[in-house]
Amino acid sequence: MQVFKIPRKERIELMSKRKKDLDFMDKIKRRELEGAIKFRLTEKALITIASLMWLGLGIGGFTPLCEVLCIPFAILTLFGGLWLV
C-alpha cells in the first residue's frame, strides 16, 4: 500500500508538523501515512469484532462443543490478528 518507505524519525516529524508547513512531497508522504494508519486501525477493529463474535458464540453456545471450540478460536483470533499480523 505504501509507495514510500518512511523512516520512523521522519514519520514522527511529518505527523507533528502542520499541513500548511509541508511541501508537496511531504504532503504526499503524510497522506500515505494517514491512509496506512487508517487501514491498520480498521483491520484491528474488524479482527476484534470477529474475536468477540467467537467469544459470544462460545459463551452463549447451545452445546458443550461450542464452548470447547469457540473460546480457543476467540483467543487465537485475537492473538494472531492483533499481534502477529
- Residue 1 predicted with pLDDT over 80: no
Amino acid, single-letter form, for residue 48: T
- Residue 39 predicted with pLDDT over 60: yes
Q: Which of 4-13, 27-36, 45-54 has the highest mean pLDDT?
A: 45-54
The pLDDT value given to residue 3: 52
Nearest to 56 by CA among 47, 65, 67, 41: 67
Distance CA 82, CA 6 (A): 22
- Return the higher-pLDDT residue of 55 and 6: 55
Of the pLDDT bands very low, low, confident and very high (cuts 50, 70, 90), residue 20 is confident
Look at the pTM and tell me if it is higher than 0.75. Answer: no
Look up residue 36 and give its three cell numbers.
Answer: 496506512
Residue whose cell numbers read 494472531: 80
